[in-house]
Amino acid sequence: MSDTTANGGRESALLRFLWKTVKLLATVALTFLGLLLATFLIGRVVPVDPVLAVIGDRAPQSVYDRVYVELGLDRPLYEQFWLYLEKVFTGDFGQSFLTKRDIVDDIRRVFPATLELATVAILIGTLFGIPLGVWAAVRQGRFADQFVRVFGLIGYSAPIFWLGLLGLLVFYARLHWVAGPGRIDIAYEYSITAKTGLLLLDSAMQGEWDAFKNVFSHIILPASLLGYFSMAYISRMTRSFMLNELAQEYVTTARVKGVPEWRIIWVHALGNAAVPLVTVVALSYANLLEGSVLTETVFAWPGLGQYLTNSLQNADMNAVLGGTLVIGAIFVGLNLLSDLLYNLLDPRVRRHA
Amino acid sequence: MLHSRTLLAATVAVFGLFAGPDARAETPPDTLIQAWAIDDIISLDPAEIFEFTASEIAGNSYEGLIGYDPMDVTKIYGKIAESWEVAADGMSISFKIKPGRTFASGNPITAEDVVFSLTRAVKLDKSPAFILTQFGLNADNVDQMVTQEGDDTVVFRMDKPYAPTLVLYCLTATVGFVVDKQTVMANEQNGDFGYEWLKTNYAGSGPFSIREWRANEAVVLERNENYSGDAAPMARVIYRHIPEGATQRLLLEQGDIDIARSLTAEELDAVRANADLKIQEGPKGSIYYLGLNQKNENLSKPEVRQAMKYLVDYQAIADTIMKGKVTVHQAFLPKGFLGALEDTPFSLDVAKAKELLAAAGVPDGFSVTMDTRNTPEITGIAQAIQQTMAQAGIQMELIPGDGQQTLTKYRARNHDIYIGRWGPDYQDPHTNADTFARNPDNSDDAASKPLAWRNAWDIPDMTAKADAAVLEGDAGKRGEMYLEIQKEHQETSPFVIMFQEIEVSAMRSNVNGFIVGPSFNDNNFAHVTK
């Protein structure tokens, strides 16, 4: 009897797991399909003629007509979408009209630039944002709180375009602390071979420390700026989560028990505030990974934001759809990751799972 | 407060750790680095290249049969061709190929390569192919029209006896550049004449070879060690994609780039004041104009068209918003072209414009829209025009849009007014006459849709005159014909032609030998030293 129960329990656990996996996969698939459909339709509503991106302004009408048919624009919309889906399922995302390369190759080139910038930025944003938020919560209503609020507000409201140029003017042109726009100096460009496309990682792995230093000196300013923006948001959220935790009874209990104040703040309260903070950080990271067009423009950073904007302005739909899929994958991925971290951080969720 | 001080110290320490004199690098002495917006490049195949940046790159990495002196375009000389001869009936031109020259691959440049390149461009039929097909060539007949005779001669045949200079200038365009047949055909797939490969690769014979094109990032050229002419002093020329003018200026001032290609008038003023930097300029063939759609009832009245030409403050715009970047020019042929009309009869004259509007039956003006590309310069010009138009009661609403967006609307003839810039495709007057003064069929589904068509301007008589000018072999007479067409055009056309562009580049003062030619494929850095 007991054997069968155990087996049945194991089987039903397996079934539950399978069902969960299927549900998850179906959700992801539907999300991607919806994303593609919406992007596709938006691309067709934009009043830009995709043929122009291919042939320019000068081509005679005969060339125009030929390319119009070649791009499949003479077919009904649903047929165009279906053809695209068929190709995507076989792993063929098509070619960009603008760069004349496979979308996959393009994304492989532009995404690491954005990934590297966003990762450094989110590290800066988190490493500074969380302590500042904690500090503001502990000193609620006092000078420190006001300072963090104003400092954050500036980061939140100043146009990044302006801050970027100002940053370049001060730290690059006047003080010479950092290198200028771009990812790496020409002199180092060919000293490292791109393996991951993340130049910090590539240069470190190949032991090219001069190149590493140069790449760092290029990335630190734009990453600090983007990090400043995330920091503003993260510190505000940390503050409010911390205020909530510090008002809880277990904090009072701990104080009565004589636990040192630093331990109460940094271990007990922050440990509990960390659970919702994971989502905040993950969302900030996802936003950064979409690529920031303005930052990328000012800093001549060849990333995803510039690529997508340029493609959209030229109605280069294969590129836009490909880029959108990447962003969709980032959001889905980070969501899953933060769910996973929830499990690790929150004992209640862990027990239920 | 200890905490904030720690934070500050940490920040400074991180910056300080990586700071140092080497954070500010000079460009290497054998490398020329230019900052430009290079996102217009869509192909590196000469049969397809038509954009500014790509044309310039092709001009420095490929060669045509013939070329001209960028300082005096009437001086045509042989590049790949040693000599040429126009047949007595004017129906063909024979080119003799220079012996002993090679491509970057080391392969010799032969008559076979020339025939291959020209027939390939016609058969691929990409955007610029019309520059060749307008002489009666098409995919079916080109193998008979362009042929090799003997070992070293190429014969180019036409369907009519066109003015020889027209044909020669067309062959100097990038679509006529010669590609290395052996290299290209080694990369052919499915009968595509190597197009899939060449659009991102290189098979030419110019002073530089193209090493790589990273879209929206950089183009890297290297000295062609097999170049048959004098070797270029620079080992490498790099274009960096820096779309922002302010960023370009910062990089130039710091010495991280050698040449900044797209600074605004204001930034150029700052460069002029800096002793480490200098400015180099050259007149370009591009023209800024307004196109008045004749489908709009008000704009189709001759007096209204005339009035609008008196409602632009040409000189003020050229002296302020576009300072140093344009000169006032009011005819469709740019200065430097055969037969260019240099009269500028129009200036801001509100009283006269009001008289003309009254004569047209709209004494109080009217409302109209103008599709305006959202670049700072075009927007600035448009706003200045909006103000002067309002002085005569014309309420002009500006509709901002991205480049492709405004263009889509313009090409569909859905605009009222379009503010545009037009650059000639080759150095012969026909290139602009063909679009501004010819409209063979004004119906909506016309086979040819020049600028006159886009503005619905039906001109059978002027079209006939422009067609006649193409066949006039005598350059003097031909010039007269174009002058006459332009005079009539200037008075009656729905085009308010305003300025001719001057291309201005800012560079470090140690950069010498950069040539700014009349078209982008004439911009040359083969002799640049620093």
B141: enclosing H helix or E strand: none
Same domain (yes/no): B403, B341 = yes
Q: What is the pLDDT of residue B24?
A: 47
User: Could you give the CA distance from residue B329 to residue B351 in angstroms, rounded to a whole number?
Assistant: 22
- In this prediction, residues A30-46 reach a mean pLDDT of 85
Residues of B in contact with A175 (CB under 8 A): 19
> Does B455 score more than 90 pLDDT?
yes
**Is B208 within 8 Å of chain A by CB?**
no
For residues B463 and B438, the answer to whether their CB atoms sit within 8 Å is yes
Chain B, residues 104-163, CB within 8 A of chain A, namely 125-130
Q: For residue A312, list chain B residues with Cβ-Cβ distance below 8 A.
A: none
In the listed set B183, B214, B235, which residue is the last one of a domain according to the structure? B183
* Percentage with pLDDT > 90 across chain B: 83
Q: Which of A141-150, A297-306, B18-27, B219-228 has the highest mean pLDDT?
A: B219-228
Is the confidence at residue A339, as pLDDT, over 90? no
Please state the length of chain B: 530
CATH number of the structural domain spanning residue B93: 3.90.76.10
What CATH number has the domain bearing residue B519?
3.40.190.10
Q: Tell me, yes or no, whether B53 and B73 share the same domain.
A: no
Give yes or no: residues B522 and B465 share one domain.
Answer: no
Mean pLDDT lowest among A112-116, A153-157, B197-201: A153-157
Mean pLDDT value of segment B105-133: 95
Tokens linked to A161: 């375009």
Chain A contact for B189, CB < 8 A?
Answer: no
Contacts of A214 in chain B (CB under 8 A): 22
Q: Note the pLDDT of residue B6.
A: 53
Residue A298: pLDDT over 80? yes
pLDDT tens for each residue of B309-324: 999 999 999 999 999 9
Say if residue B426's pLDDT is above 80.
Answer: yes
How many other CB atoms are found less than 10 A from the CB of residue A350?
A: 11
Token digits of residue A17: 């797991």
**B336, part of any domain:** yes
Q: Chain B residue with minimal CA distance to A96? A: B42
Residue B519: inside a domain, yes or no?
A: yes
A52, B240: Cβ pair inside 8 Å? no
> What is d(CA B85, CA B156) in angstroms, rounded to the nearest whole number?
10
Q: How far is A137 from chain B (nearest CA, A)?
A: 14
Q: Which residue is closest to A308 within chain B, CA to CA?
A: B216
Interchain CB distance below 8 Å, A306 and B244? no
CATH number at residue B289: 3.10.105.10
CA nearest B45: which of B170, B235, B213, B166? B213
Q: What is the pLDDT of residues A45-65, one digit of tens each?
A: 777 888 887 887 888 888 888
Q: In chain B, what residues touch A313 (CB-CB under 8 Å)? A: 402-405
Same domain, B486 and B469: yes
CA distance to partner chain B, nearest, from residue A295 (Å) = 11
Report yes or no on B298 lying in a domain.
yes
B365 is a domain residue: yes
Residue A349 has pLDDT above 80, yes or no: no
Instruction: Please give the average per-residue pLDDT across A252-262, as a whole number.
Output: 89
| Beta-bridge mates of residue B240 | B35, B218
Q: Which of A86-95, A205-214, B333-342, B368-377 has the lowest mean pLDDT?
A: A86-95
> Are B326 and B430 part of one and the same domain?
yes
Q: Could you tell me the two tokens for A29? A: 């698939």
**Mean pLDDT for the stretch of residues B386-396:** 96
* Contact in structure between B40 and B47 (CB atoms under 8 Å): no
**Please, what are the domains in chain A?**
103-352 (1.10.3720.10)
pLDDT at B2: 40
Strand partners, A247: none
Q: How far apart are the first and last CA of chain A?
A: 26
Size of interface A-B (CB pairs under 8 A): 163
Look at residue B172 and tell me if it is in a domain: yes
Residues B152 and B243 in one domain: no
Quick check: B296 pLDDT over 90? yes
Q: What is the value of pTM for the model shown?
A: 0.87
For residue B126, the chain A residues in CB contact (below 8 A) are 55, 59, 63
Q: State the Cα–Cα distance between residues B312 and B207, nearest whole angstrom.
A: 44
Share of chain A above pLDDT 70, in %: 96
Looking at per-residue pLDDT, the higher value among A353 and B93 belongs to: B93
Residue A182 is encoded by which pair of tokens? 């771009």
Q: Is B330 helix (H, G, I), strand (E, B) or coil?
A: coil
Do B96 and B153 belong to one domain?
A: yes
Each residue's pLDDT tens digit, B282-293: 989 999 999 999
Residue A207 phi/psi, 5-degree rounding, is: 70, 20
**Secondary structure E strands in B313-412:** 326-328, 367-373, 395-401
Q: How many C-beta atoms lie closer than 10 Å to residue A206's C-beta? A: 14
Q: What's the rounded Cα separation, in Å, for the pair B271 and A233?
A: 40
Instruction: Judge whether B200 is closer than 8 Å to chain A, CB to CB.
Output: yes
Residue A207 has pLDDT above 50, yes or no: yes
Candidates B405, B425, B438, partner chain A, best to mutate (most A CBs within 10 A): B405
B235 within a domain of the structure (yes/no):
yes
Nearest CA in chain A to B217: A302
In the 8-state DSSP scheme, what is residue B232? P
- In the numeric block, which tokens belong to residue A43? 């691309």
| Position B235 pLDDT exceeds 90 | yes
Choose between A5 and A206: higher pLDDT.
A206
pLDDT for res B393:
95
Same-domain status, B391 and B469: yes
Q: What is the mean pLDDT of residues B398-409?
A: 88
Q: What is the mean pLDDT of chain B?
A: 92
Domain membership of residue B190 (yes or no) is no
d(CA B150, CA B145): 16
Strand, coil or helix: B524: strand
Chain B residues 406-435 with CB within 8 Å of chain A: 407-409, 411, 425
- The predicted model gives A69-94 an average pLDDT of 86
DSSP secondary structure letters along A138-164: HTTTSHHHHHHHHHHHHHHHS-HHHHH
Residue with tokens 């200890």, as numbered in its chain: B2
A291: left (phi over 0), alpha (psi -120 to 50) or beta: left
Q: Look at chain B and report how many structural domains it folds into.
A: 3
Same domain, B428 and B345: yes
Structural domain span for residue B227: 1-60+206-276+509-530
Instruction: Give A180→chain B minimum CA distance, Å.
Output: 7
The 10s digit of each residue's pLDDT in A158-200 is 888 888 999 999 999 889 899 989 898 887 877 788 788 898 9
Is B99 contained in some domain? yes
Q: What is the pLDDT of residues B50-85, one digit of tens each?
A: 888 999 999 999 999 999 998 888 899 999 999 999
Dmax over Cα atoms in chain B, in whole Å? 93
> B294 and B350 share a domain?
yes
Mutation target among A105, A177, A215 for the B interface, most CBs of B within 10 A: A177
Q: How far apart are CA B246 and CA B267, in angstroms?
A: 7
- Block residue for tokens 């004569």: B359
What pLDDT sits at residue B21? 42
> Quick one: B2 and B54 in the same domain?
yes
Rounded to a whole number of angstroms, the distance from the CA of B267 to the nearest CA of chain A is 14
Residue of chain B nearest A187, judged by CA positions: B28
Shared-domain flag, residues B349 and B220: no
Task: State pLDDT tens for residues B467-524.
Answer: 999 999 899 999 999 999 999 999 999 999 999 999 999 999 999 999 999 989 999 9
| CB distance B232 to B6 below 8 Å | no
Tell me what the pLDDT averaged over chain A comes to: 86
If pLDDT is split at 50, 70 and 90, which confidence band does A352 have? low
Say how many residues make up chain A.
353
Q: What is the dihedral of CA A157, A162, A167, A173, to 10 degrees?
A: -170
